[in-house]
C-alpha cells in the first residue's frame, strides 16, 4: 500500500496505537475514519482517513492500520473530513466551520466522560453524588475506563461561536446570541422562541444564525 509521504515528511507523527475500524470507542465525531485532506500553510495538501475525538479534542488519522496524531498542527490551515471543514484556531485546537448564509457557525466539538457509578452486586450500578466518584477522561485514542468497577457516559460540552470583527464570540443560548447583535435583541429572541429552536441541534442553530445575518448588513 502506497503511503502519502507528504504527511509524514511535513509532520513528526505520534503513533497512538494499533486500531481496528470496528473498535472505535465513544467520543468520536464520526462512526468511522473518513477520507480527509490536510491543507498546510505552505500550500501543500495531504490525504488520509481522519476522525475527531471530542474527549481529547484531537484530530487523528490512520496509516496502515495505525492511529496517528498531527504533531505540528500550527503548520495546518484546515482539515477537510468528508466535506466538513475543521479550521485550525490555535495551539492544536480545531473548530468545525459550518457555512450559514453569508457567514459561518464555528463549533468546538468537545465532551466529558463522567462516571455513572460503581458496579455493585449482581452488576447493578450504584451512583453517588460524591465528587470522588466522577472521573473526567482525556485520551487521544479510545475511551478507556479507568476503573473496571465503574461505568461511564460521554456527555457533550460543545461550544458555539460566531466570528465578528475577526474575533470569536461565544454563545450558548438565545439570550447570549441576541447580545451579539446590539439593538436587535428583542427581534432575535422572539424569532427563536416562536420557531421553538433547540440550541442543542445544529440545524436549529443554523436557522437562528441565518436569521441574525440580516442584522450584519
Q: Counting runs of H as helices and runs of E as strands, what totals does the chain give? A: 4, 14
pLDDT higher for 27 or 126?
Answer: 27
CB-based burial label for 47 (10 Å; 0-12, 13-18, 19+): middle
3-state secondary structure of 117: strand
User: 81 has which bridge partners?
Assistant: 36, 84
- Residue range 6-23: mean pLDDT, rounded: 45
pTM equals 0.77
Compute CA distances 187 → 48, 178, 183, 215, whole Å.
45, 8, 9, 10
Give yes or no for residue 117 having a pLDDT over 60. yes
3-state secondary structure of 89: strand
Give me the phi and psi of 10, to 5 degrees please: -85, -20
pLDDT of residue 136: 36
pLDDT of residue 9: 41
pLDDT higher for 216 or 158?
Answer: 158
pLDDT of residue 168: 97
At 180-213, the pLDDT tens digits run: 999 999 999 999 999 999 999 999 999 999 999 9
Cell 470507542, located at residue = 25
- Residue range 32-46: mean pLDDT, rounded: 93
DSSP 10-67: HS--EEEEE--GGG--TTBSSSS-EEEEEEETTS-EEEEEEEEETTTTEEEEEETTEE
- pLDDT over 90 percentage in the chain: 57
Amino acid at each position: 500500500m502506497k503511503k502519502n509521504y507528504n504527511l509524514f515528511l511535513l509532520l513528526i507523527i505520534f503513533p497512538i496505537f494499533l486500531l481496528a475500524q470496528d473498535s472505535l470507542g465513544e467520543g468520536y465525531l464520526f462512526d468511522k475514519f473518513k477520507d480527509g485532506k490536510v491543507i498546510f500553510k505552505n500550500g501543500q495538501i495531504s490525504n488520509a482517513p481522519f476522525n475527531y475525538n471530542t474527549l481529547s479534542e484531537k484530530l487523528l488519522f490512520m496509516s496502515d492500520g495505525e492511529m496517528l496524531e498531527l504533531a505540528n498542527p500550527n503548520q495546518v490551515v484546515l482539515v477537510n473530513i468528508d466535506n466538513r471543514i475543521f479550521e485550525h484556531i490555535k495551539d492544536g485546537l480545531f473548530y468545525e466551520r459550518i457555512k450559514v448564509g453569508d457567514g459561518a457557525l464555528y463549533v468546538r466539538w468537545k465532551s466529558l466522560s463522567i462516571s455513572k457509578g460503581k458496579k455493585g452486586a449482581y452488576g447493578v450500578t450504584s451512583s453517588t453524588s460524591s465528587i470522588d466518584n466522577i472521573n473526567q477522561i482525556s485520551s487521544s485514542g479510545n475511551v478507556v475506563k479507568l476503573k473496571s468497577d465503574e461505568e461511564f457516559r460521554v456527555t457533550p460540552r460543545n461550544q458555539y461561536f460566531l466570528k465578528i470583527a475577526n474575533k470569536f464570540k461565544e454563545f450558548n443560548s438565545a439570550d447570549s446570541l441576541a447580545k451579539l447583535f446590539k439593538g436587535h435583541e428583542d427581534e432575535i429572541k422572539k424569532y427563536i422562541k416562536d420557531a421553538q429552536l433547540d440550541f442543542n441541534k445544529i440545524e436549529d442553530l443554523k436557522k437562528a444564525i441565518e436569521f441574525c445575518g440580516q442584522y450584519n448588513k
